[in-house]
């Protein structure tokens, strides 16, 4: 007997994951709930094509223009990555303190400003010894952070701490656990002593002037430690792209529960931290309602490198994004993408040094637009390397759109990816539990078949914590 909620061909073993995540019913296979217009920001700003299983209308523009074809998903990502390439090459590097550099990209090679270590140091707690043992032990000890100690003579030893300067003429460091003293206070080794053992010689890791990392390296926590050890207080880095977020829709509440046809805005709280995770500096977050003139003024006066709008990308009576872009003479680079959810996303060049990504208002559709268009553009502006594409087999089948790519939230379990339920365009329940998005080509992906995965920024180890 097939377990409840499992479609034909779905692996019953998937229930362990689904139960743990409280995902019991496929959001895409269920009817769209009443009030779904609200989940789409209530203004027709959503995916615009139902649950991702629509007709050939997916190949016409979301604004109804006859003959207009949306851009294939992979091509749209490539266009977004190229859109800011010339601008990225002209961006002026900034000098940032180590505390502010995490996640940035080096604009100059990291070159050692000193030898590492800068003097011979002890690698262990123990005794610095000179010549063969046994040794007479000096009364004083050598601690880290102190000036150069007095030289040793053969047959002499001195207590030494890890990181302390090695006295001149030292033969080796004898670890505390490898020595004993007799009744006369003389030190005897309990193991053979090799010349130079447990001494970190000056310049062992690098010499002053050595290149430690090239231009283009991402600043991770380990890079910060290396830079500090090598003598740096600041780093020359590519500046973070500046982003402004404009949330559109008269029906949105910023606090409290939905009521009287009004709904909570999910994108205002979600987008700024997500954009920071993609390496951006998020400035203004503004709620404009469905006001064409307010949108026009916001686009004219913004100094951001990228403006992100939510909703208003379709062709309804209060969808003002396309008319406003025409009014200001913007160049549409991508106008609709063959992807579900998120088909009516767009990318425009407002002026030479400024772009706009228009996200659909449906929450998961907006995530799709964010990863399809905003992520490649921000990556180019920040000079970050493109992530290496990778695939994993799907534990069970993922239904595809007849003609468009689908992006489906998945969790990673061992060497498989498990598609999650609640993956409709208006839903965030699936993506909130996900590790990645699976790229499902037209027609779908069978159980066991490899699917390309897009990592979510907080589920990767690439740049550490980049929410700061």
User: Among 64-73, 105-114, 354-363, 430-439, where is mean pLDDT lowest?
Assistant: 64-73
Rounded mean pLDDT, 142-154 = 91
pLDDT in tens, 262-315: 767 778 888 999 999 999 999 988 877 778 898 899 999 999 999 999 887 887
Report the pLDDT value the prediction gives residue 285, as an integer from 0 to 100.
87
Report the pLDDT value the prediction gives residue 241, as an integer from 0 to 100.
95
CB of 401 within 8 A of CB of 304? no
Cα–Cα distance, 201 to 116 (Å, whole number): 9
pLDDT at 109 over 70: yes
3-state per-residue secondary structure call for the chain: CCCCCCCCCCCHHHHHHHHHCCCCCCCCCCCCCCCHHHHCCCCCCCCCCCCCCCCHHHHCCCCCCCCCCCEEHHHHHHHHHHHCHHHHHHCCCEEEEHHHCCCCEECCCEECCCCECCCCEECCCEEEECCCCCEEEEEEEECCCCCCCCCCCCCEEEEECCCCECCCCCCEEEEHHHEEECCCCEEEECCCCCCCCCEECCCCCECCCCEEECCCCECCHHHHHHHHHCCCCEEEEECCCEEEEEECCCCEECCCCCECCEEECCHHHHHHHHHHHCCCEEEEEEECCCCHHHHHHHHHHCCCCEEEEECCCCCCCCCCHHHHHHHCCCEEEEECEEEECCCCCEEEEEECCEEEEEECCCHHHHHHHHHHHHHHHHHHHHCCCCCCCEEEEECCCECCCCCCEEEEEEEEECCEEEECCCCCCCCCHHHHCCCEEEEECCCCECCCCEEEEEECHHHCCCCCCCCC
Domain boundaries, the chain: 12-59+387-459, 71-90+240-382, 94-115+205-238, 121-200
Its CATH class, for the domain covering 94-115+205-238, is alpha beta
CB atoms within 10 A of CB 447: 16
What CATH number does the domain located at 71-90+240-382 have? Answer: 3.40.980.10
Report the pLDDT value the prediction gives residue 170, as an integer from 0 to 100.
96
How far is the CA of 252 from the CAs of 248, 260, 361, in angstroms? 8, 11, 11
Report the pLDDT value the prediction gives residue 468, as an integer from 0 to 100.
40
Beta pairing partners, 308: 245, 357
Which of 269, 234, 239, 242 minimizes the C-alpha distance to 253?
Answer: 269
Into which CATH architecture does domain 121-200 fall? Beta Complex (2.170)
CB of 398 within 8 A of CB of 451? yes
Which of 92, 86, 165, 183 minimizes the C-alpha distance to 123?
Answer: 165
In this prediction, residue 354 has a pLDDT band, given cuts at 50, 70 and 90, of very high
pTM of the predicted structure, to 2 decimals: 0.77
Cα–Cα distance, 400 to 405 (Å, whole number): 7
Cα–Cα distance, 8 to 157 (Å, whole number): 77
What percent of the chain shows pLDDT beyond 70? 82
- Annotation: CATH topology of 12-59+387-459: Beta-clip (2.40.340)
- Sequence-ordered list of residues with C-beta below 8 angstroms from that of 129, at least 6 positions apart, any chain: 135, 152, 156, 157, 170, 171, 172, 173, 174, 187, 193
pLDDT in tens, 232-256: 999 999 999 999 999 887 666 566 7
Which of 129, 131, 179 minimizes the C-alpha distance to 154?
Answer: 131
User: Among 35-39, 73-77, 177-181, 372-376, where is mean pLDDT lowest?
Assistant: 35-39
CB of 168 within 8 A of CB of 152? yes
Greatest extent of the chain over all pairs of C-alpha atoms, in Å: 101
- Residue 346's Cβ-side half-sphere holds a number of Cα atoms within 13 Å equal to 28
CB of 10 within 8 A of CB of 397? yes
Provide the mean pLDDT of the chain: 83
Please give the angle made by the CA atoms of 211, 215 and 216, to the nearest 5 degrees. Answer: 135
Cα–Cα distance, 216 to 221 (Å, whole number): 16
Tokens of 19: 């139960």
* Phi then psi dihedrals of residue 321, to 5 deg: -70, -50
């Amino acid at each position: 007997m097939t377990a409840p909620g499992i479609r034909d061909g779905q692996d019953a073993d998937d229930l362990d994951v689904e139960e743990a995540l409280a995902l019991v019913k496929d959001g895409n296979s269920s009817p769209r709930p009443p009030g779904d217009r609200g989940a789409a920001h209530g203004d027709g700003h959503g995916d615009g094509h139902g649950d991702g299983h629509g007709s050939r209308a997916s190949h016409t523009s979301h604004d109804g223009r006859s003959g207009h074809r949306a851009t294939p998903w992979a091509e749209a990502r490539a266009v977004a990555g190229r859109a800011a390439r010339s601008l990225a090459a002209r961006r002026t590097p900034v000098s940032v303190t180590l505390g502010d550099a995490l996640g940035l990209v080096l604009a100059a090679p990291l070159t050692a400003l000193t030898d590492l270590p800068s003097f011979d140091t002890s690698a262990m707690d123990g005794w610095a010894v000179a010549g063969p043992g046994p040794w007479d032990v000096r009364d004083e000890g050598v601690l880290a952070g102190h000036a150069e100690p007095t030289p040793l003579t053969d047959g002499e030893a001195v207590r030494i701490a890890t990181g302390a300067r090695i006295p001149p003429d030292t033969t080796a460091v004898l670890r505390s656990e490898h020595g004993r003293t007799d009744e006369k206070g003389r030190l005897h080794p309990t193991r053979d002593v090799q010349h130079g053992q447990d001494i970190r010689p000056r310049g062992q890791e690098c010499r002053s002037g050595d290149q430690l990392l090239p231009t283009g390296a991402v600043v991770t926590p380990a890079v910060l430690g290396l830079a500090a050890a090598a003598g740096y207080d600041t780093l020359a880095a590519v500046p973070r792209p500046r982003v402004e977020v404009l949330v559109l829709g008269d029906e949105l509440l910023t606090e409290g529960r939905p009521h009287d046809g009004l709904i909570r805005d999910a994108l205002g709280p979600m987008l700024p931290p997500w954009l920071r995770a993609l390496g951006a500096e998020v400035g203004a977050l503004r709620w404009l309602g469905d006001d064409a003139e307010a949108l026009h003024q916001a686009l004219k006066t913004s100094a951001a490198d990228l403006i992100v709008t939510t909703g208003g990308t379709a062709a309804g009576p209060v969808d003002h994004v396309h008319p406003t872009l025409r009014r200001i003479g913007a160049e549409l680079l991508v106008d609709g993408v063959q992807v579900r959810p998120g088909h009516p996303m767009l990318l425009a060049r407002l002026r030479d040094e400024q772009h706009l990504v228009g996200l659909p208002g449906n929450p998961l559709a907006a995530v799709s637009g964010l990863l399809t268009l905003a992520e490649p553009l921000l990556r180019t502006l920040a000079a970050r390397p493109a992530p290496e594409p990778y695939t994993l087999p799907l534990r069970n089948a993922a239904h595809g759109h007849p003609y468009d790519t689908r992006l489906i939230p998945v969790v990673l379990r061992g060497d498989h990816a498990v598609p999650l339920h609640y993956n409709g365009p208006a839903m965030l329940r699936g993506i909130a539990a996900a590790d990645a998005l699976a790229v499902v080509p037209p027609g779908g992906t069978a159980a066991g078949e490899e699917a390309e995965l897009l990592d979510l920024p907080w589920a990767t180890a690439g740049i550490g914590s980049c929410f700061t």
